[in-house]
Amino acid sequence: MTFTEQVLTIALCVAATVLTRSLPFLFFTSRRPTPKFVQYLGAALPSAVFALLVVYCLKDVSPLSFPYGIPEAAGCLATVAVHLLFRNMMVSMAAGTAVYMVLVQTVFA
């Protein structure tokens, strides 16, 4: 990739990011109420995305072969436990990921 292509790629990425971040402020001004459908999506999508993430992460787990899904189960349990304690999705995901990675890299290596 030439330097010009790199600059154009970065410029297009910046433009797309700025556009997608600014469009909601142009469409949904303070003068008009936010549509009920958009409010519903704002409430429902975070949980749906988290559920999709769980399904995607566990799709290849085989409970019939070593390590029998133990690291994945421990990571999920850690995620749930930390979320019940702190009610913070980012902290929960980080803790579950850390538990899983430690088990995979050390115990079940």
- Is residue 15's pLDDT more than 90? yes
**pLDDT-derived band of residue 3, with 50, 70 and 90 as boundaries?**
very high
Convert the pLDDT of each residue in 50-98 to its tens digit.
899 899 999 999 999 999 999 999 999 999 999 999 999 899 999 999 9
Q: If we measure between CA atoms, which residue out of 84, 82, 105 comes closest to residue 94?
A: 82
**pLDDT-derived band of residue 2, with 50, 70 and 90 as boundaries?**
very high
